[in-house]
Chain A
């Protein structure tokens, strides 16, 4: 049954990508939005309305962005160019290409997300495991509702509070951005530390909000693991409790958490986008925000597509690797 599962999973991945592209293409057109017209009108308003030959300008724009072909033509062009990661030119930041803008922003987001998700996954899981291990301590029991509240607060709201507390009131950390506006990026160690310093607060707000979620998940997994026969055996053998905790408990309970990671990935990334906006961090989220503010259709579509493809791909990866690391999963009943 192995091969059938893999084929089904890859088929699902392809369908997801196509669905996203189609939504991205048809919804705005279905409601009759004309991005170019809107942009020109906006430019007119901003420049105080020069009058002049608007229609010609609009025509030339349309030709440039291929909006004058038939719908089917447009769709096919759109699908193929999107799959080649070519999102056309940005309207508001013309002549920059959307692909280049995304390429510049992506490393920031990837760095921030990977590090903070890994830290919160490990810290949260350990805290959750420890909570089950030492039952009956009132202090620990009362942490759980607090953890729940923290996991329910959106990351970016926590970010707002953290900025005010640590950056504004205490001035421990920089107020915004990925590095100081006055520095020129280079490869020196000094610049690296500057990036680090700027990323602590955004990362911390993601970690704080996420850890609660992982702790709660791990706690319920540990409760199940504790009841297993091999745990009783380990105790009966007289192994020291530290070894039982790590080698017998955590090791078995942490695997299903990986599946939860795949499922909550979209939630994490949505939160991280908003965190970036709050901190003006130069990643994908801020780029999206700029696109929305300027109503730059192509930036929005490009960012949206990148988000979809990266999430779908990560989920595919986790789903394909998971049966290899957890032999208890029978692929046939997935």
Chain B
């Protein structure tokens, strides 16, 4: 596959960089889904004023583009960023989607007969959440996790392409950053810029198919083609 402007082998940097990108996505997605589960469950289950506050916070952050929050975070980190720091800041900004979806799912679950029953029989709330609601929502949480990972990968590539990424890493976003830096598409170095884009598209298609499969597992009636 040839070498890039700095003389690095393109194939090698893709082979090393793709796992790094996916790792950023998984760590960030994990943080996002964890925050989402905590906030979404709290809001949906307890309702009332707690729900109102959490919903308001979600509304506020809905109006601030995640990329903007990421930029503020990234310029606040002194010195060079590491991959872990990048994953952390992306994770902290990707809790919106999961929180919204899980909140509405919990609201639906709460009204179901067996949950109401366990409530009337005097089970403590934490028990209801962990023994009744969480196990039944697990497939949704998983499917949501996959989509959050996809979003996190997208966000991390965006922030890296802006030149605010982890310069020590070889991740796909950094490869794209260097391509923009040297405007390689104006030099016709197609063998340098096409592999990262292709891999990103492939990663996305795979994540989409995985989340579709999880959705069908969660809800067998969904069996649609696309």
Contact = CB atoms under 8 A, between A and B. Distances in A.
Which residue, of B76, B163, B176, has the highest number of chain A Cβ atoms within 10 A? Answer: B76
A33 B201 CA distance: 37
Interface in B167-226: 176, 179-180, 183, 185-186, 188, 190, 193-194, 197, 200-201, 204-205, 208, 225-226
A241 interface: no
Contacts of A297: 75
Contacts of A28: 72, 75-76
A175 B183 CA distance: 10
B67 A32 contact: no
B63 A304 contact: no
Given A31-B78, A274-B158, A266 B193 contact: no
Interface in A139-194: 141, 144-145, 148-149, 152-154, 156-157, 160-161, 163-164, 167-169, 175-176
Contact of A154 (B158, B185, B190): B158
A92 B98 CA distance: 40
Contacts of A269: 65
B56 interface: yes
Contact of B68 (A153, A164, A263, A307): A307
Contacts of A80: none
Contacts of A225: none
Given A148-B208, A176-B186, A277 B77 contact: no
A273 interface: yes
Nearest to B193: A160
Nearest to B164: A292
Given A163-B186, A176-B186, A304 B68 contact: yes
A311 interface: yes
Interface in B126-182: 150, 154, 157-158, 161-164, 176, 179-180
B226 A144 contact: yes
A319 B225 CA distance: 34
A308 B204 contact: no
A96 B193 CA distance: 36
B82 interface: no
Interface in A290-332: 292-293, 295, 297, 300, 304, 307-308, 311-312, 315
A315 B63 CA distance: 7
B64 interface: yes
B197 A157 contact: yes
Interface stretch (A11-19, A44-52, A60-68, A247-255): A11-19
A27 interface: yes
A270 interface: yes
Contacts of B176: 157, 160
A131 B33 CA distance: 34
B72 A164 contact: no
A270 B66 contact: yes
B158 A16 contact: no
Given A144-B226, A277-B180, A156 B78 contact: no
Interface of B is mostly: helix
Interface string A14-41: 0110011001100110111100000000
Interface residues of B, number: 45
A300 B70 CA distance: 12
A289 interface: yes
B9 interface: no
Contacts of A24: 72
Contacts of B179: 160
B49 interface: no
B162 A289 contact: yes
Nearest to A23: B72
Contacts of B71: 288, 292, 300, 304
B164 A266 contact: no
A157 B200 contact: yes
Given A144-B226, A169-B188, A270 B158 contact: yes
Contacts of B154: 154
Given A24-B72, A31-B78, A161 B197 contact: yes
A102 to B, nearest CB: 15
B119 to A, nearest CB: 25
A203 interface: no
A278 interface: yes
Contact of A270 (B67, B163, B201, B204): B67
A16 B162 contact: no
B65 A19 contact: no
B201 A149 contact: yes
A19 B60 contact: yes
A13 B63 CA distance: 8
A292 B226 contact: no
B158 A292 contact: no
Contact of A304 (B72, B161, B164, B201): B72
Given A144-B226, A266-B66, 10 more contacts: A15-B60, A161-B197, A163-B185, A176-B183, A266-B65, A270-B65, A273-B67, A295-B75, A308-B63, A311-B65
**A-B complex: 10 closest residue pairs judged by Cβ atoms:** A266-B65, A270-B67, A164-B185, A28-B76, A27-B76, A31-B76, A16-B63, A312-B63, A152-B204, A163-B185
